[in-house]
Amino acid sequence: MDPKGKVALLTGGARIGQAVARALAARGCALALTYRRSREAAENAAAAARAAGVAAIALRTDATDDQQVGAAVKQAASALGRLDILVNMASIYEKSPHPAAADWSRALDANAKSAFLFSIHAAPLMKAAGAGRIINITDWLPISGRPRYKGYLPYYTAKAAVAALTESLALELAPQILVNAIAPGPVQAPADLAPEENARVVEATPLGRWGGAEEIAKAVLFLVETEFVTGECIRVDGGRHLY
């Protein structure tokens, strides 16, 4: 699918979302960006897209609320004329050393339920148009089949659920809609990362560095443009899974 002249709905407009928005806008793709708390990031991305010559809107949406998600999808398609691409980036990353039911629900809702809701609301519009792309964001750890770090049980499980959702949706929505996922590894270092921890990550990554959000944007473009890849999860981790 050529992104030029198409419309993409991006959930989660902060950090990596900014790079994905720039990449799609540069290819002539109009954007709808949803946010819950990151209003400034979403509106900045929309403004940058408009400056690049494409239409763009920002929509406040609780990605875990079925009615709000349905309304956002309809509003995006109505305002921009169509809906061709969905990139599910809404997510939370929280450590839960002693997880309770609330931690479990929050992680599953924010990471997996949100992708499910946006997908089931967007898919009928894409099918009606004859084609579509859904791209989810999971994590290199569950895709590699090993949790590795203690204290992230709800998060790890939620991201594994995103991978399962990707495969199941790919089967359900073929052949009109291609559904794939991206599993980032060391892409963006947290602002509060200690120097010694940063050194350990770099040492454990065969390519010897953090990748940068642009590497995720490149993977998104590939999965938008491909015509014969579906149900796949691509690790963008600099080889981190090899150790």
* Domain of residue 76, CATH code: 3.40.50.720
- How many domains does the structure of the chain reveal? 1
Is 155 among the residues known to form the active site? yes
Instruction: Report the pLDDT value the prediction gives residue 97, as an integer from 0 to 100.
Output: 85
Instruction: Report the pLDDT value the prediction gives residue 169, as an integer from 0 to 100.
Output: 98
- Which segments in the chain show pLDDT lower than 70? 13
Instruction: Report the pLDDT value the prediction gives residue 11, as an integer from 0 to 100.
Output: 96
Instruction: Report the pLDDT value the prediction gives residue 91, as an integer from 0 to 100.
Output: 87
User: Is 119 a domain residue?
Assistant: yes
User: Is 2 a domain residue?
Assistant: no
67-233-56 Cα angle (round to 5): 45
Asked if 20 and 243 touch (Cβ cutoff 8 Å), the reply is no
Buried b (16+ CB within 10 A) or exposed e, 95-127: ebeebeeebbebbbbbbbbbbbbbbbbbbebbe
User: Is 82 a domain residue?
Assistant: yes
- What residues make up the domain containing 136? 7-242
User: Is 164 a domain residue?
Assistant: yes
User: Is 218 a domain residue?
Assistant: yes
Q: How many whole angstroms separate alpha carbon 88 and alpha carbon 9? A: 8
Asked if 27 and 106 touch (Cβ cutoff 8 Å), the reply is no
Convert the pLDDT of each residue in 66-76 to its tens digit: 999 999 999 99
The strand pair at 56-60 and 85-88 is best described as unpaired
Instruction: Report the pLDDT value the prediction gives residue 56, as an integer from 0 to 100.
Output: 98
**Beta bridge mates, 11:** 34, 88
User: Is 1 a domain residue?
Assistant: no
Asked if 111 and 4 touch (Cβ cutoff 8 Å), the reply is no
Active-site residue (options: 35, 152, 155, 156): 155
Instruction: Report the pLDDT value the prediction gives residue 108, as an integer from 0 to 100.
Output: 96
Instruction: Report the pLDDT value the prediction gives residue 147, as an integer from 0 to 100.
Output: 85
Q: What are phi and psi of 25, to 5 degrees?
A: -60, -40
User: Is 169 a domain residue?
Assistant: yes
Instruction: Report the pLDDT value the prediction gives residue 150, as an integer from 0 to 100.
Output: 87
